């Protein structure tokens, strides 16, 4: 069977149009390959990377569980990383999230500084980063989308105001600091010191890091008691776990926490509120770990191209003997 060959004469303008279409198609293909998409493809769950500091306290554990449970409820594919208290692990996790092309990254920074290089990588990949719990110091505020957490400076001021009133502006204080370089440790120390500056007879006689850990609080308090003995009137702890460790050391020394030594701390975990109800702690200031709805709602808005608040603070609350017992039945952490 003979093959019939036919030829069609194509006008010159059509040949040029075809060449233009081919070039245009190639440009579109290259753009799609180079420029990452924003948000999850239709019908697929959001993929979010969460770089957590570690599990150094009951507050941190509650924070992690709240993020995981809310992600599961919403059908979000949460990529979770526990940094085990090391910044290099968090940086490594963020780079892994970028390589996996997640839709957004949530970072609870262990310390304030050293984040710019990896945040630039996330920005180049067009992956929004939400900073939670702890703030950072950066040379370029555009490297992250927003911050969601608490006002650590105001927490330090609130603790100082309450304490000055409670002890009549007099007393010798030992301070249990958080992780060196961490925003809450820096701000709570600074604001508290400024808050008691107007009371010359209210003085910090010693200050040392317990690294936000209960064991650290116990060890540091033991050292304080050996060094200062009964001259200690007040313990100011940057978190409840360290305060609870200090209570163990105080009791082991034959003293009555909450009576012989006034104790004020920040976080308001359930054990701390129980300690207030029984008189072993005088005042925990709440820092809620339950960020989950606000964090995921904010990410939804970011991926939809909406503007969000640059800083969003959780509402803090003070507990004492008047309201601690009533708060326990509904306490979730």
The residue among 145 and 292 whose pLDDT is bigger is 145
Instruction: Yes or no: say if 148 and 291 are a contact pair by the CB < 8 Å rule.
Output: yes
What confidence score (pLDDT) does residue 123 get?
Answer: 98
Poorest-confidence range of 40-54, 140-154, 164-178? 40-54
Please determine, for residue 94, whether its predicted confidence score (pLDDT) is greater than 90: yes
What confidence score (pLDDT) does residue 150 get?
Answer: 85
What confidence score (pLDDT) does residue 35 get?
Answer: 33
pLDDT tens-digit readout, 265-314: 988 888 888 998 899 998 766 556 666 689 999 999 999 999 999 998 87
Cα Rg of the chain (Å, integer): 27
At 319, is the pLDDT very low, low, confident or very high (cuts 50, 70, 90)?
low
At 6, is the pLDDT very low, low, confident or very high (cuts 50, 70, 90)?
very low
Instruction: Yes or no: say if 185 and 221 are a contact pair by the CB < 8 Å rule.
Output: no
The DSSP code for 221 is H
From the list 119, 90, 100, 99, the residue with the least C-alpha distance to 46 is 100
Which strand ranges, in their side-by-side order, compose the sheet holding 262-267? 202-209, 171-177, 234-237, 262-267, 283-286
For 115, the 3-state DSSP assignment is: coil
pLDDT tens-digit readout, 168-200: 999 999 999 999 999 999 999 999 999 999 999
Q: What is the dihedral of CA 292, 324, 163, 137, to 10 degrees?
A: -10
Please determine, for residue 234, whether its predicted confidence score (pLDDT) is greater than 70: yes
pLDDT > 70 in the chain, percent:
79
Please determine, for residue 324, whether its predicted confidence score (pLDDT) is greater than 60: no
What confidence score (pLDDT) does residue 269 get?
Answer: 82
- Please tell me the chain's helix, strand, coil percentages from 3-state DSSP, rounded to the nearest 5: 45, 20, 35
At 24, is the pLDDT very low, low, confident or very high (cuts 50, 70, 90)?
very low
Averaged pLDDT, 150-154? 89
What confidence score (pLDDT) does residue 322 get?
Answer: 62
Poorest-confidence range of 12-26, 110-124, 234-248, 278-292? 12-26
Please determine, for residue 33, whether its predicted confidence score (pLDDT) is greater than 60: no
What confidence score (pLDDT) does residue 4 get?
Answer: 32
The residue among 125 and 314 whose pLDDT is bigger is 125
Averaged pLDDT, 121-140? 96
Q: Write out the DSSP string of 287-325.
A: -----HHHHHHHHHHHHTT----SEEEPPP-B--TTTHH
Distance (Å, whole) CA 162 – CA 160 = 6
Please determine, for residue 5, whether its predicted confidence score (pLDDT) is greater than 50: no
């Amino acid at each position: 069977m003979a093959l019939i060959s036919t030829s069609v004469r194509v006008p010159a303008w059509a040949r040029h149009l075809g060449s233009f279409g081919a070039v245009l198609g190639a440009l579109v293909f290259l753009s799609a390959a180079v420029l990452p998409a924003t948000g999850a493809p239709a019908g697929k769950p959001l993929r979010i990377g969460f770089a957590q500091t570690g599990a150094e306290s009951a507050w941190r554990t509650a924070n992690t569980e709240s993020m995981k449970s809310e992600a599961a409820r919403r059908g979000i594919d949460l990529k979770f990383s526990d940094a085990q208290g090391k910044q290099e692990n968090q940086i490594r996790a963020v780079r892994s999230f970028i390589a996996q092309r997640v839709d957004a990254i949530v970072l609870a920074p262990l310390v304030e500084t050293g984040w710019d290089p990896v945040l630039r990588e996330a920005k180049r990949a067009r992956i929004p980063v939400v900073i939670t719990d702890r703030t950072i110091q950066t040379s370029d505020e555009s490297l992250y989308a927003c911050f969601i957490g608490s006002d650590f400076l105001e927490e330090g001021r609130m603790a100082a105001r309450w304490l000055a009133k409670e002890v009549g502006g007099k007393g010798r204080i030992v301070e249990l600091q958080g992780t060196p370089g961490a925003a809450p440790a820096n701000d709570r120390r600074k604001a508290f010191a400024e808050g008691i500056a107007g009371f010359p007879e209210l003085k910090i006689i010693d200050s040392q890091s317990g690294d936000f850990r209960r064991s650290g609080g116990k060890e540091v308090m033991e050292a304080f008691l050996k060094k200062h003995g009964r001259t200690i009137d007040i313990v100011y702890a940057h978190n409840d776990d360290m305060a609870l460790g200090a209570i163990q050391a105080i009791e082991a020394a034959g003293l009555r926490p909450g009576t012989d030594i006034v104790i004020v701390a920040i976080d308001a975990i359930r054990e701390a509120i129980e300690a207030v109800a029984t008189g072993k702690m005088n005042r925990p200031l709440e820092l809620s770990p339950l960020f989950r709805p606000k964090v995921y709602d904010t990410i939804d808005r970011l991926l939809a191209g909406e503007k969000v608040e640059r800083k969003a603070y959780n509402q803090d609350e003070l507990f004492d003997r008047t309201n601690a017992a009533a708060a326990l039945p509904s306490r979730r952490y």
